Structure 1
Amino acid sequence: MDKCTVVTFLICGLLQCGFVSAGENVTKVRLMGGDEPTDGRVEVFHNGEWGTICDDDWNIDSASVVCRMVGYDGALEYVHSGKFGPGEGNIWMDSVLCTGEEDNISDCPFNGWGEHDCSHHEDAGVRCNSRRIYGAKSSVSSGELDFLRLKPPRGQRRRILQTHGFVEILYQNKWRKICTDEWDKNVATVVCGQLGFPTAAPIHGLKKYMAKARKRHNYVLSNVTCYGDENSLKRCSYVVHNADKHNLCEGSGPLAIKCLSPRYSSSGHSRRRKKFSGNLRLKAGASEGEGRLEIKMSGRWGTICHRSFDLRAANVACRELGFGSAKRVLIDSYFGQGQSAVWLSGVQCIGNETSLLNCEHSVLDRRDPDDDSDPHACTHSEEIGVACHVPNTGTHKKIRLVGGRNPKEGRVEVRVKQSWGPVCSDNWTITEAKVVCKQLGLGFALHALKDVYFFPGSENATVIKMTGVNCVGDESAVHHCHHDGRHLQSCGAATHTLTPFAGVICTEMSPDLVQDVPLLQQSIHLDEQPIHNLRCAAEENCLASSADQMIDDPYGTRRLLRFSTRVWNRGRTDFQPAKQPRDWIWHQCHGHYHSMSQFTHYDILDLNRTEVAEGHKASFCLEDTECDPGVPKRFDCDQPGGGNQGIAVGCADNYQYNIDCQWIDISDVKKGNYLLRVRVNPHSLVAESDFQNNEVYCNLKYDGHRVWAWNCHIPDHYDPATIAQYYKESIYP
Structure 2
Amino acid sequence: SGRVEIFHNDVWGTVYDYNWDLNDAEVVCRQLNCGTALQAPQSAYFGAGTGQIWLGGVRCSGNESSLTECQSSGWGNSYYYYYGHNYDAGVICTGPIRLTGSGSSRCSGRVEIYYNNSWGTACDDGWDLNDAEVVCRQLNCGSALEVPQSAHFGAGTGQIWLDNVTCSGNESSLTDCQHSGFGSNGCEHGQDAAVICSAVSIILTGSGSTRCSGRVEVYHNNSWGTVCDDGWDLNDAQVVCRQLNCGPVLEVPQSAHFGAGTGQIWLDNVTCSGNESSLTECQHSGFGSNRCEHGQDAAVICSGPFLFVYYLIGLAGSGSSRCSGRVEIFHNNVWGTVSDNDWDLNDAQVVCRQLNCGSALQAPRSAYFGAGTGQVWLSGVSCSGNESSLTECQHSGWGNPYYYYYNIHYSDAGVICSGVIRLTGSGSTRCSGRVEVYHSNSWGTVCDDGWDLNDAEVVCRQLNCGSALQTPRTAYFGAGTGQIWLNNVTCSRSESSLIGCQHSGFGSNTCEHGQDAAVICSVFSCIDAIRLVGSGSTRCSGRVEIYYNNSWGTVCDDRWDLNDAEVVCRQINCGSALQAPPSAHFGAGTGQIWLDEVTCSGNESSLTTCVHNQFGSHNCDHREDAGVSIKTLNKKSSALPEDNKIQLCKHTRTHKHTHFISLWGHLIDTMLSLSQNAFKLVGAGVLVATGAAGPHK
Which is higher, the Rg of structure 1 or of structure 2? 2
Instruction: Please report the TM-score for the alignment, with normalisation by the length of structure 1.
Output: 0.26
Instruction: Please report the TM-score for the alignment, with normalisation by the length of structure 2.
Output: 0.27
